Homo-oligomer: A and B are copies of this chain.
Amino acid sequence: MLDFEYYNPTRIIFGRESIAKIHSLLENYGENIMLLYGGGSIKKNGIFDKVMEQLRDKNVIEMGGIEPNPTIETIRRYIQKCREEKVEFILGVGGGSVMDSAKMIGAGAVYDGDVWDFFKNHDQLPEAMLPVATVVTLAGTGSEANQNFVVTNPDTCEKIGKNGGPACFPEFAVCDPQLTFTVNAYQTASGAFDTIAHVFEHYFAEADQYMPVQDGMQEAVIRAVITELPRAIKEPDNYEARANLMWAAQQALFGIADMGKGHGERVEHKMEHILSARYNCAHGAGLAVVVPPFRKHMCRLNPAKYRQFAENVFHIDCTGLSDYEAGMKGITALEDFIKSVGLPASLREIGAESESDVDFLAEELVRQGRVTKGTGIGLKELKEMYASVY
């Protein structure tokens, strides 16, 4: 087990009608509240009204329009607005993009320089953040209760994720699974697959060490997605299925399940980030395309761990198989799962229109210097992987 420090002070308010607790939770914060949301679905499904009722004593600066892959330009504009309106608290109501934005805006608003600095300089962490809280309307990123965020720079085709460090935890996260009843099957599946990909990055790291608590927690999160996603697609109002998906998503990136395991190589997230930067696809959908080819590649290097995955997650009987054969059976089961829940399995399905995209994506990823050395993955391997799912 690697040495580690763990800290997560976010208060999680999980359950039915938890929005109703926002009013008292906000008691000790300032008057000027920025209410951040996305495309406006919360105005149609009643969530907006419920939240506004909780903000009845506050001066609300309403700011919708956060896009699915928020751009650095949007973040800068909202930071400007924060300063003009002397915002004291940011409440982000939405999925990962809105919750991430709340943190980036909150960190940028109290920072003297340009918020892009935090992405340009890997080691520069925000020293402070306006207090932020989240209301989850789409489960997947786990962003509601951690210190991470992702931004897109369309000019450079970059999409960069960041662990914002100890200053960037939300004060509280309001998690009512009922709020996700109206999320359609595709978005539900996309969020759920994001959960699996988050776990993968740590699960397959440090494979030479035995960490039964962490491994077991991570397998539990993946298994929960495997059983609960089909239920939630079939019965969108099934509270139990929605609650299990929401809790799985949160635990995938809450920190506990992967402590001591190192950060993993995160190659698949980088392989995807360039997809959503280029095609503006749902993040989880892009992941469904790139995870299988990447994991097939990695299975050759570390087959024993992939056998464990096949056996413990999909309960595949691997008697008589080599570790590699067993591991590949697990990845095949994952591919079958991806198809069964209506997620894409090819670049074409998310918007690629020419095979030349394969070269572009691989070359761009290398150009951005985003692929780490340790995995043995270079331009050639990236091209092969993208080509295999064109």
Which residues on A are within 8 Å of B, measured CB to CB? 1-9, 11-16, 18, 209-217, 219-221, 223-224, 227-228, 239-240, 243-244, 247-248, 251, 254, 256-257, 259-260
Q: Is the CB of B12 within 8 A of A6?
A: yes
Q: Is the CB of A14 within 8 A of B3?
A: yes
Q: Is the CB of B260 within 8 A of A212?
A: no
Partner of A217, one of B1, B3, B7, B216: B216
Name the B residues within 8 Å of A228 (CB-CB): 212
Q: Is the CB of B5 within 8 A of A12?
A: yes
Q: Is the CB of A1 within 8 A of B216?
A: no
Q: Is the CB of A224 within 8 A of B220?
A: no
Q: Within the complex, what minimum Cβ distance (angstroms) separates A19 from chain B?
A: 12
Q: Is the CB of A212 within 8 A of B223?
A: yes
Q: Is the CB of B14 within 8 A of A260?
A: yes
A9-B9, A11-B7, A14-B6 as given contacts; A213 in contact with B256, CB under 8 Å: no
Q: Is the CB of A5 within 8 A of B13?
A: yes
Name the B residues within 8 Å of A18 (CB-CB): 3
Name which residue of chain B comes closest to A220, CB basis: B216
Q: Is the CB of B227 within 8 A of A221?
A: no
Q: Within the complex, what minimum Cβ distance (angstroms) separates A133 from chain B?
A: 13
Q: Is the CB of B3 within 8 A of A244?
A: no
A260-B257 Cα distance, complex, nearest whole Å: 17
Besides A4-B12, A211-B244, A213-B220, 4 other A-B contacts (C-beta < 8 A): A1-B239, A5-B11, A5-B13, A216-B216
A45-B336 Cα distance, complex, nearest whole Å: 56
Q: Is the CB of B224 within 8 A of A247?
A: no
A243-B259 Cα distance, complex, nearest whole Å: 12
Chosen A-B contacts, 27 in total, with CB atoms closer than 8 Å, are A1-B239, A3-B16, A3-B18, A4-B12, A4-B15, A5-B11, A5-B12, A5-B13, A6-B14, A7-B9, A7-B11, A12-B259, A211-B244, A211-B247, A212-B224, A212-B228, A212-B244, A213-B221, A213-B224, A213-B248, A214-B220, A216-B216, A216-B217, A216-B220, A219-B220, A220-B220, A243-B260
A5-B20 Cα distance, complex, nearest whole Å: 13
Q: Is the CB of A213 within 8 A of B1?
A: no
A11-B9 Cα distance, complex, nearest whole Å: 9
A260-B223 Cα distance, complex, nearest whole Å: 18
Tell me which of A1, A2, A257 has the highest count of chain B C-beta atoms within 10 A of its own C-beta. Answer: A1
